[in-house]
Amino acid sequence: MADLLLFRDRGTQCFLFILLFMMFISSSISARTLTCYCDGSCPDNVVNGTCETRPGGSCFSSVEEVYDDMTGTYEEERTYGCMPPEEYGGLLMCKVASVPHLHGKNIACCDSGDYCNRNLHPAFTPKTTTPPPDLPATVVPPERYILIGLMILCVAIFTFVMTGLCLIYRRRQKLHKQPRLINSMCGAQMSPLTQLVEQSSGSGSGLPLLVQRTIAKQIQMVRQVGKGRYGEVWLAMWREEKVAVKTFFTTEEASWFRETEIYQTVLMRHENILGFIAADIKGNGSWTQMLLITDYHEQGSLHDYLQRSVLTPQKLQILAYSLSSGLAHLHAEIFGTPGKPAIAHRDIKSKNILVKRNGQCAIADFGLAVKYISELDEIHIAQNTRVGTRRYMAPEVLEDTLNSKQFEEFKRADMYSVGLVLWEACRRCYTTVHGSKTTICEDYALPYHDVVPSDPSFEDMLAVVCVKGFRPPIPARWQDDDVLATLSKIMQECWHPNPSVRLTALRVKKTLSRLEIDCNDCPIKIV
């Protein structure tokens, strides 16, 4: 097991494979037998003039100066034969006998092929002062150099090919893993459309316009899932993937332009802001259709979700935390190149907040949003005849005392609306009655449902919120749970009549992150 762990790295495996290959070639070459020419030194006194080496042996040719008693002179005596392999001292004999300072004796070995020693003539220095006879120059068999060169070439090519294959394999592994990246917040595999948006929005501003128009042409409407004063919302399909299509009435062209502009703001994308896909205008001269294509969330708006669902304190905390997280990103200015301007929503309400499958919120509908460019100290307010939702309007908006030249005023008005949305959600969170297993919660209700009509006017809201100073009631049971008690305090600070003392979205987010949460299988981790 330790060996497997040691060589788990693929680069190490490639190197070991090359080393083993080289050792195999070397052992194959060294393990072969050779047929050598022999003359006077053939083993077993054979007379056919040849001998065979042991595996790994070599052929040799030797020369020695021998004293002739008959003539009284030294004569040259040459012999040929087979040399034993290295383990029997063969290679050592070749090396020792060929040392230049040994006079009168020399030996040369070869293993380049059969009979390679036939033309091998080692040189030597005679012991006598008599000039040695002319001897032919030592012949180095060219086959040996060719073999060595081929071995080096083969090893180099093999190393190059294996290195290339390793790099290609790692590259493919990396590309293979990218489509399987898991959205840690959603807990689901990223869809092809989400991958397209993520890969194409290098600046964080969404898909190129040409790609958006192409997607819009390929949309197939399925059914209408919502309708409002701006237009309609449809469930649609794009290449077997569900998307939401918001169609605007012709009178709401300004809202379409503004919302499209805000969605395509640099670095706008966030897990708690509705994912924008594409926008397009279709028309044939007699009619015009303005489309806004976004992610589809089957749970619907928070308004609809709360009417049919009862929340646990843990689910309530996730809803509230994700809402504050999305709004904090929207309100924040990101400095840099590119950077993101600060943005205020101006129409926060439960119908403009969608609930994702993992229980988080996604803020939507930016038709009334304003941007603040700090470098120019400019507030970009769209020329839009629409106003916010009266039920959720801050006191300074109802009284028309909001200073439109101070961007912080718009953010504080958003936080007032957030306080009302949190109140709606808290009513649907159950608590346990003391001393029993009975759980209770309130029915779903809109803020100020008990003091204003279902469609209140400015005057109705002004009288209740500003003149009388009413705020939604806080049930006593909320103090029995840590999450509800914390949120009840947060919402009261958010809807304070003095805008300057209201909490910021970032402060709400940090406060909720400090709450202890006892949930082992919650869809997200609050940090």
Task: Report the SS3 class of residue 270.
Answer: coil
Q: Give me the helix-helix angle, 482-494 and 407-427, nearest 10°.
A: 150
Which stretches of 364-408 are assigned E, i.e. beta strand? 370-373, 378-381
Q: What's the rounded Cα separation, in Å, for the pair 49 and 454?
A: 120
Task: Report the SS3 class of residue 64.
Answer: strand
Beta bridge partners of 294: 244, 276
Half-sphere exposure of 195 (CA within 13 A, CB side): 13
Task: Report the SS3 class of residue 58.
Answer: strand
Q: What's the rounded Cα separation, in Å, for the pair 227 and 234?
A: 9
Q: What's the rounded Cα separation, in Å, for the pair 263 and 369?
A: 10
Find out whether 313 and 439 touch, Cβ atoms under 8 Å.
Answer: no
User: What number of residues does the chain have?
Assistant: 527
Half-sphere exposure of 380 (CA within 13 A, CB side): 16
Half-sphere exposure of 311 (CA within 13 A, CB side): 30
Catalytic residues: 347
Q: Quote the tokens at residue 132.
A: 């040695």
Q: What's the rounded Cα separation, in Å, for the pair 154 and 147?
A: 10
Q: b vs e for 460-477, b when ≥16 Cβ sit within 10 Å of the residue's Cβ? A: bbbbbbbeeebbbebeeb
